Chains A and B, each alone.
Chain A
Amino acid sequence: DAGVIQSPRHEVTEMGQEVTLRCKPISGHDYLFWYRQTMMRGLELLIYFNNNVPIDDSGMPEDRFSAKMPNASFSTLKIQPSEPRDSAVYFCASSSSGRWVTEAFFGQGTRLTVV
């Protein structure tokens, strides 16, 4: 399996622009997570989905952030409008329920810089 695939790997955008981050989870995994990593706040869970349905979005910082999972093989995290404080590494991870050890497998991350 190719693992969790995120695109783009790097994104530089100007303040006010819309940014879309993409994720393809591991085939067969029924949970998908979006995390954000910053120096100040560490790794934070933004939102997670089960079987394409958002379960908990309490970590989404504000209305500028939105996430969708239209099907089992694709998810997006959108920031509109973007701000410099959104600069971070955004990770997508997926996992499979029904196993006793349910580790999450992470993508390579998208490094977002908003200038």
Chain B
Amino acid sequence: AQKITQTQPGMFVQEKEAVTLDCTYDTSDPSYGLFWYKQPSSGEMIFLIYQGSYDQQNATEGRYSLNFQKARKSANLVISASQLGDSAMYFCAVSYSSNTGKLIFGQGTTLQVKP
């Protein structure tokens, strides 16, 4: 079965510092997409960043970047210059079906940013 693993149930980071949230996945498919979503305490799911399996360069979106290591099957999220508003649950997800948006989610990592 396809499995997404986020090994860090909870993380702390000091405001203004960078933090890396880990994600590994299991697949033999050559084509897939990697996503990160943020879920604040209010409960909504917010799309942050995407990486395609064929993309040569790591994706970046503002303070978010994705450290994609294809051979290791890892797609870690890096948040630079953490802000208090970054405190939330973060989910890594993989889409194995191209162009559908169907996602398999990891268990999530709770990030708390300390002032």
Contacts and interface: CB of A to CB of B under 8 A. Distances in A.
Do the two chains belong together in a single complex? yes
Interface stretch (B15-23, B65-73, B77-85, B104-112): B104-112
A104 B35 CA distance: 10
B62 interface: no
5 contacts: A91-B45, A103-B35, A103-B47, A103-B101, A104-B103
Nearest to B37: A106
A103 B105 contact: no
Interface of A: 31, 33, 42-45, 48, 50, 56, 89, 91, 93-106, 108-109, 111
Interface of B: 33, 35, 37, 43-47, 50, 52, 91, 95, 98-108
Given A42-B107, A101-B33, A102-B95, A108 B43 contact: yes
Given A43-B91, A101-B33, A103-B35, A109 B43 contact: yes
A45 B99 contact: no
A42 B43 contact: no
Contact of A95 (B37, B45, B100, B104): B100
Given A106-B44, A108-B43, A108-B44, A98 B104 contact: no
